[in-house]
Structure 1
Amino acid sequence: MMMSNSLKKWLVGFSLLTGVTYTVIYACADDFWGYRYQSNFTPETYVDKSYTPLLFSDEMFYSIGHDTEYTSRFNNDIIQEWDGYLDGKIKKEDLTYLILKDSAKAELNNLYEAAFAKKSLKYADRKIALKDKKVKNFLEFMYYAKMIEEHATVAYHYWDYESRQVSYVAPEVIRDVENKFTKATDAFLKNRYWFQVMKAYFYSDSKQQAFVFFEKTKAQVPQNVLYYRALSYIAGVYYKDKDYVKANYLYSVVFDKCPQLRVVTAYNFHPQEQSDFDAALQLAKSNDEKAALWALLGYYADERKAIDAIYQLNPKSEHLEYLLTRLVNKEETELNGEEFKSVKEYKKVVKEKLNKESLALLNKIAGEEQTLKPYLWNIAAGYLNIFNGDYALAEKQFAKAESKAPKTELSAKQLRLLKLINTLSRQNAMNADAESKLLTDLNWLYHECPNSDYNEPFRYTKALDWSKKYIAALYKTQKNGVMAELFDRDNKYYLTGVNQEAMKTFLMRNQKSAWEELAVSVYSVTLSDIYEYQAVMSAYANKIERAIAFMEKSEKGKEVILEGNPFNGKIKDCNDCDHQAYQKVKYTKLSFLQKLKEMQDKVTKGEEVYSNSLLLANAFYNMTYYGNARSFYYSNIMDQGGNYIDEDYKPYLLNSALANSYYKKAFEAAANPEQKAKCVYMMAKCERNAFYTDNYHTNRYDYRQPEVHFLAWNGFKKLKAEYSNTQYYKEVINECGYFQKYLGMN
């Protein structure tokens, strides 16, 4: 297998931080939460927990980002082991404090001196039996272990790795601890002193002595976790000496034999060249050791080739399982990103993009049933066969897996989900037969799964979204716009009156089938939303009576309170100021429309034309994006709550023409220069809004727009030329910075 360029970049980049890196503190990013939105295959279902950080992820390690347990990984084990050794002679909570807490150093020293040097005891509250032999053994061990630990737990950040100050374990400390190991007769203590010697050499300036000591004594200790921790130190020394072949080989041995160190060894395993990996394979003493090397390389490089190699070496290797989940998760992430133009086109694209070599390998291994978990391979192969359009084979593989899969809730959910995806993928039309096959499982997916514990790893969200889009695509092909919209919201659906009425007719129908009820249950738009939308759009068309009729049928008409007084028209636009100002009358969407109608009727009758026209102009101005009553158009269907306005709604929400027409009407009815001046200025604001719309709302994120924020609006010219003697003119100068600039004022 040739090493890819991308792999070499990974290895070279990470080699800068590897080797002696057990106490690095990483600046971790937040946990990535997106897998459930792009994946249907939950790797945690069947893979041992020791592999969890090695599952497919956009970060270095799945779910944890970076390894942060360098100094705490074995804390629980250490406490348990010493608690068993001491047999209750020190309370477990006291033991935990003495072993783990930095603040216990002074107390430990005092206990040690009291036990061995007959110094006075300063910490008598714990009631520790200092004359007990095992207690004294513990205190003596901790005395040396803490000295070594000071050099092993120096925290530093990865960005100052090269410039950190290294503090080495003193030779006399190593000599004393090695002497303790040699003389120890208790197997428990001997094992732990042996590890402390290895640790001390590793954090000394005589690292090479670790080799000598290890080779001389390794036969005297059991091959337990301490043994493999020590072996990883040997690997680290080799790595620092740039003997990558031996380092990688030893890391792979630890990876294979010590699950607790899989994150550490995976991080430190980095062949620099293809020849490094090939040479490490030559060092391997068994097929299992070769499989471990491939398992680590597969993590960084090509899972398929690693799986193929391991399967030939040992089909029962546990390492195959985590590599399988990585392969499937990578593949599905690529394929699940495909959009729906039509079901036919979707199936064609995913089948073409599916890696046929991976599928063939999975089908082969699943069919031979030689692995530790044949059901897992059948599940994985079945899932990929869905993308390949081989639904019958997928069904057989799922059935075979179901008979042997573990009887856990997560396993049952995983199989049920994939079988549902297969059943739906077989449908090329929506009819009564398809509905009967899908109804129960879709109810489960849409309503039961979202109610499960969010922290549960089960990935169903992608299937939930995909299934709706798939069904909607079929309905679109069948020209059933209502059902397509129910399963997959289209932001443009309600732009046409025909669609509005079609959906209203459907939602108002009393008798609906179970399938139709399911569709309604997942639809986010209500009949009330549609009436509200029709009312708002009618208002922008200045069909106020029609708008009132619609709004009266919507619950939102009386629920939503406009935040500012929509009939106010001020020199300076300040929505927040208007929202905070006292309002004698607070308007709902409905009462606002009713007031508009009342004023329009008065204008029609010739009653108080100036004041009513001015108030109407203010209202239509404030209904736009530029005004204080944006909440009038905030709605579930329109969904224009931000600063960006969709193209479809710009003609309504960014348009001040209706307001301008009423300002003109008010100007024509004005009785004095003060009133006229106000109308002229307000029309200038409408001109300004049109300029903003044309220049700043054309492209959403185009900041290359002209830096001119105002022009010499016609309203500014007219105000200066004809109304400079009014009090309102002076007020405009005081409040409007643009007008001041127009006048050439600072």
Structure 2
Amino acid sequence: MKTWRKLLLYFVSITSLCLISVAIIMACSDEPDPYDYYTSFFHPDIQGKKDYGAFYFTDYHFTYGNEEPASEAAINSTEWAQYLGGKVKANDVEKIMYHLDSAGKERAYHFFEQDPPVADSLVKSSFLWSLKDSAHDAAKKYYQFAIQAELLGQSNYNYWEPAPLDTAALRNTANEAVQSAMGENDSFLKLRYFYQAQKLNHYAGNFAEAKNIYEQHIANTTSSSHIKGWALALKAGEERRLGDTVQAAFLFSKVFAGYPERRLQAYRNYHYIDAPFNDVIKLARTPEEKANLYAIRGFANPEIGADNLEEVYNNAPSSALVGVLLVREINKLEQYYLTPALNNNTDQFYSDGHLAKPETPQHAGKKKWLIWIGLIGLFAGIVVMLIGFKKQPGKPAIKIAGGLLTLVGAVCVVWILIHKQDETPEAQKLPKGSFFVAVPDSIKNKYDKHIEKLRSFCTTLASDAKYKEPQIGTLTNAYLYFMQNKPDDGLAALKELDGQNLNAKLGDQKQIVNLLLSAQRLKQLKAIDEASLLPSLKWLNEKVVAGVKPKTDVYPPTPESVNQFAIAQRNFYTYVLAPAYLRQGDTARAALAMLNSNNTITANSNWYINQDMPDFWFNFVHSPQLKQLIDWKTNRPADQYLAFLSKGLNRVNTDNLYELLGTIELREHHYPEAVTAFQHIRNSKLINKSYNGQDYYNDGESSQGDPFVVEINDYPKHFEGKRYTKLTFAQKMAQLWSETQKEPKNAAAYYQMANGLYNTSTYGNSWGLIAYTWSATDVGRKPLYYYDGDYIKASKAKQYYLKARELSDDPEIKAKCTFMAAKCEQKEHEAPSFGDDYDAYKKLEKLYTEQLRQNSYFKEMQQYKTTAFYKKAINECSYLSDFIKSN
């Protein structure tokens, strides 16, 4: 084979493999749930679900759902059943007309022949027996004609052997339909024959004739049949094909308004045409037609804006479109404004200092006294100075004293004013127990203006009472106050609904808004506050249990698979209750709230030991808090509120709790306590499992690295040597720790402990002894978790290596300790993160690489040139060898 052919073959093969890999990654990667990707408490289905549920807000789909609000088959079958008389069932009509395969339709066509062999499903059809009655010969004739027409209109298109429609046959059959219509006196059948004629011409591409049939024979027919709507949809398509896109868009808006079985189709066609809205709106003759057009435009707008909503209300204030558009605006605000304001459940947020840190009380009293002292001093100084100048001009001491008093007073006042300005906006905006985070002023100002505009509309909606459910305006107002962190105003607005007759959905939404505002009002959650929240939490949980069971295995997600109450409950515990506890320093209760947040939708749990607990527990809970959780599980709290929240602990396996507690004790260097925790585990398989990252996939059967050995390079990791479980590791570390207590100068013990700590870092061979996940991106990353001092920075390992070096007399040990201290020091530098500025990133990356090589302990390594370890390290470690060469 020639070289170029080989290269081409290799190129094609490699390219194919890459494309296949990309396809697999894309297919297997997670995608946002289009019905649950932002923080929401305001249910979209409280308005217009039956007629306009497909147009609720979601920024991930063109429409919220893909099902028409009504069934075309059911509507047509009902019309036929009514036409044929009370003995005919609509279900029988639908089965015959819409649910037979081609063979079944063929049998149905010949059903009316003399004693044909017929399937039982046809024999029992009241529809077919009615058509067989001589009184309905005309209807039978039409039905048989419709079957033949349907076969002509079907396109069995094959990409490899395209077979075009038989347009000549379509036109001929359309002419037959016109002739049959002309000779038919029955208005029900006459309309359907003309519809068949229009449709057949439409399929044949004879759009002008199809349009002509509609205008001459269908448009002015006095009939309430939905056939007219389907014919109107065809007419709209014909106008588009003939070049009048504005007229076509307007006609689709009429189909959208009047025929729910074609509403979604008409909506898509309207936007597909993309006709200028200002031209289309000119064709509207009635306020209702204008309202429909503004609604269609509003449903397609993913950005905030009340203009379409206001136009719909001004033209048709009683229309259900008003409520749907209003809720859409609320859901948009939830995505763009509320979700960032509740961005309080991320690792970075906790790492930035918002976790379990009670606020330092402000000494407001001292500041007040300082202000008074300053003012009094300032006033007294001025008085003394005036006395000195006017009454005692010859005594400069009085002038000096007055000047000093004035200066001290002025300094006090100025200091107070300066430090008053220095008070952080966070402290002002986020009182103790608050769960909102600070939103940038640019975003806040933008959305606050929209909120006020929307609030004004809601006030008008409620006071005018032109809309069928004006209470939605008051309810929305209360929720807007929640978004703005104004609970008192929100509760006052909600109180206006007391005593009013609300439907079930609005009543449920009122309960949720009341729960949110009540929780928001509390500056610090105490026992009395928790008791006040308990009835609402119980009510919400009952709604979750009684609601739609979440279908977590449905892909892609559908609106029917969503339990709105479950989403609200999860979001309340996750973004409201848990963060409020964290702000006041109660991590145990916050952890309990997060556990309850996970029992509603999909358990956001750690899959490394047993899918029971939230990720928060694995990364942020310390041993005292976990011990408190274990106690709540073991001894049911007497307090009703805590007892209710603690029910979630019932599904948490006790062994897993002690496994996590032991791991946390290892992170906290409480080795005897870790041993005790691990010894509580009854499942021998769990406690005897070794952890090195690979075991999670091989059920503990893979090799385990010895955490007490030294490796020159971190990669590749070596997993041979003595196997350690978390228990045996804890026992070994406890023994070493005990030795250091008995012999403070035991260099060997410190050295072994340092090895154990280093190897349980992300760089070592036993990271799984203190961590539950590992990623290549952990190398050099910014610390996030409380144990990252060991896991990322290897700080304590460095401390123990230096201690061991100080105490040891063995040059080999000193060399090893110095080298390992150098490796630990490298971990103190943070690797740059790639941003938009590639050049800046490359500079930071170069600096980071230089920092790894310019290591003070590499210089000290030269003291141990004669050791065997030095000779081994200089050959295997490129960082050390580069440093030595450059110096």
Shift of 1:442: 2.6
Map of 2:522 onto structure 1: 427
Residues of 2 paired with 1:432 and 1:604: CA distance? Answer: 44
Shift of 1:326: 1.4
Shift of 1:460: 5.4
Go from structure 1 to structure 2 and tell me whether the alpha carbon gap of 1:240 and 1:560 turns closer, same or farther (over 3 Å shift). farther
Structure 2 segments unaligned to the other structure (5+ residues): 1-29, 345-425, 551-560, 596-613, 693-703
Map of 2:662 onto structure 1: 532
Residues 195 and 230 in structure 1, CA contact (< 8 A), matched pair in contact too: yes
User: Quick check: 1:562 aligned with 2:563?
Assistant: no
Q: Which range moved further: 339-348 or 216-225?
A: 339-348
SS of 1:63's equivalent in the other structure is coil
Aligned residues: 668
Residues of 1 paired with 2:629 and 2:108: CA distance? Answer: 81
Map of 1:372 onto structure 2: 468
Go from structure 1 to structure 2 and tell me whether the alpha carbon gap of 1:175 and 1:518 turns closer, same or farther (over 3 Å shift). same
Map of 2:564 onto structure 1: 458
Go from structure 1 to structure 2 and tell me whether the alpha carbon gap of 1:136 and 1:208 turns closer, same or farther (over 3 Å shift). closer
User: Quick check: 1:229 aligned with 2:359?
Assistant: no
Go from structure 1 to structure 2 and tell me whether the alpha carbon gap of 1:53 and 1:96 turns closer, same or farther (over 3 Å shift). same
Go from structure 1 to structure 2 and tell me whether the alpha carbon gap of 1:399 and 1:391 turns closer, same or farther (over 3 Å shift). same
Map of 2:771 onto structure 1: 634
Shift of 1:723: 6.2
Residues of 2 paired with 1:395 and 1:277: CA distance? Answer: 40
User: Quick check: 1:395 aligned with 2:523?
Assistant: no
Map of 1:196 onto structure 2: 196
Of 493, 499, 513 in structure 2, the residue corresponding to residue 418 of structure 1 is 513
User: Quick check: 1:143 aligned with 2:148?
Assistant: yes
Within 5 A, what are the aligned runs for 1:508-523?
A: 513-517=639-643
Residues of 2 paired with 1:682 and 1:348: CA distance? Answer: 46
Map of 1:312 onto structure 2: 314
Residues of 2 paired with 1:505 and 1:45: CA distance? Answer: 40
User: Quick check: 1:652 aligned with 2:790?
Assistant: yes
Residues 675 and 730 in structure 2, CA contact (< 8 A), matched pair in contact too: yes
Residues 178 and 197 in structure 2, CA contact (< 8 A), matched pair in contact too: yes
Go from structure 1 to structure 2 and tell me whether the alpha carbon gap of 1:287 and 1:599 turns closer, same or farther (over 3 Å shift). closer
Map of 1:9 onto structure 2: none
Of 725, 732, 737 in structure 2, the residue corresponding to residue 595 of structure 1 is 732
Residues of 2 paired with 1:206 and 1:495: CA distance? Answer: 68
Shift of 1:387: 4.2
Shift of 1:274: 5.0
Residues 335 and 353 in structure 1, CA contact (< 8 A), matched pair in contact too: no
Within 5 A, what are the aligned runs for 1:150-299?
A: 150=155, 169-170=167-168, 171-185=171-185, 187-218=187-218, 219-220=220-221, 222-270=223-271, 272-273=275-276, 275-281=278-284, 284=285, 286-299=286-299
Residues of 2 paired with 1:482 and 1:459: CA distance? Answer: 25
AA partner of residue 405 (structure 1): N
Question: Per-residue CA shift, 1:294-333, capped at 9, x if unaligned?
Answer: 3223323576333333333333223222222212222343
Go from structure 1 to structure 2 and tell me whether the alpha carbon gap of 1:597 and 1:383 turns closer, same or farther (over 3 Å shift). closer
Go from structure 1 to structure 2 and tell me whether the alpha carbon gap of 1:40 and 1:547 turns closer, same or farther (over 3 Å shift). closer
AA partner of residue 414 (structure 1): Q
Q: Which range moved further: 425-434 or 356-365?
A: 425-434
SS of 2:306's equivalent in the other structure is helix
Residues of 1 paired with 2:309 and 2:620: CA distance? Answer: 55
Q: Which range moved further: 199-208 or 515-524?
A: 515-524
Shift of 1:231: 0.6
Shift of 1:145: 1.8
- Percent identical across equivalent pairs? 17
Go from structure 1 to structure 2 and tell me whether the alpha carbon gap of 1:394 and 1:519 turns closer, same or farther (over 3 Å shift). same
Instruction: For CA contacts below 8 A with separation 6 or more, give which structure has more relative contact order.
Output: 1
Residues of 1 paired with 2:646 and 2:716: CA distance? Answer: 37
Go from structure 1 to structure 2 and tell me whether the alpha carbon gap of 1:179 and 1:400 turns closer, same or farther (over 3 Å shift). farther
AA partner of residue 238 (structure 1): E
Residues of 2 paired with 1:422 and 1:354: CA distance? Answer: 21
Map of 2:72 onto structure 1: 74
Residues 288 and 315 in structure 2, CA contact (< 8 A), matched pair in contact too: yes
Go from structure 1 to structure 2 and tell me whether the alpha carbon gap of 1:599 and 1:306 turns closer, same or farther (over 3 Å shift). closer
Residues 603 and 613 in structure 1, CA contact (< 8 A), matched pair in contact too: yes
Question: Per-residue CA shift, 1:270-310, capped at 9, x if unaligned?
Answer: 564353144123xx2x3322322232233235763333333
Question: Per-residue CA shift, 1:120-169, capped at 9, x if unaligned?
Answer: 9999898779994566643332111221232xx8699xxxxxxx998574
Within 5 A, what are the aligned runs for 1:18-33?
A: 32-33=33-34
Residues of 1 paired with 2:120 and 2:546: CA distance? Answer: 50
Residues 471 and 487 in structure 1, CA contact (< 8 A), matched pair in contact too: yes
CA-based RMSD of the aligned residues comes to: 5.9
Go from structure 1 to structure 2 and tell me whether the alpha carbon gap of 1:381 and 1:279 turns closer, same or farther (over 3 Å shift). same
Residues of 1 paired with 2:800 and 2:140: CA distance? Answer: 88
Residues 566 and 629 in structure 1, CA contact (< 8 A), matched pair in contact too: yes
User: Quick check: 1:329 aligned with 2:334?
Assistant: no
Residues of 2 paired with 1:586 and 1:427: CA distance? Answer: 52
AA partner of residue 334 (structure 1): Y
- Using structure 1 for the length normalisation, give the TM-score: 0.69
Question: Per-residue CA shift, 1:436-461, capped at 9, x if unaligned?
Answer: 43222134446863785223542453
Of 497, 503, 513 in structure 2, the residue corresponding to residue 405 of structure 1 is 503
Residues of 2 paired with 1:50 and 1:615: CA distance? Answer: 71
Residues of 1 paired with 2:620 and 2:54: CA distance? Answer: 51
Residues 359 and 385 in structure 1, CA contact (< 8 A), matched pair in contact too: no
Map of 2:557 onto structure 1: none
Residues 55 and 61 in structure 1, CA contact (< 8 A), matched pair in contact too: no
Go from structure 1 to structure 2 and tell me whether the alpha carbon gap of 1:596 and 1:533 turns closer, same or farther (over 3 Å shift). closer
Shift of 1:204: 3.0
Question: Per-residue CA shift, 1:619-663, capped at 9, x if unaligned?
Answer: 44432212332221136xxx7788536515443113264796799
AA partner of residue 365 (structure 1): L
Residues 295 and 325 in structure 2, CA contact (< 8 A), matched pair in contact too: yes
Shift of 1:487: 5.5
Go from structure 1 to structure 2 and tell me whether the alpha carbon gap of 1:310 and 1:621 turns closer, same or farther (over 3 Å shift). closer
Question: Per-residue CA shift, 1:596-632, capped at 9, x if unaligned?
Answer: 44567789999xx999999767644432212332221
Question: Per-residue CA shift, 1:7-27, capped at 9, x if unaligned?
Answer: xxxxxxxxxxxxxxxxxxxxx
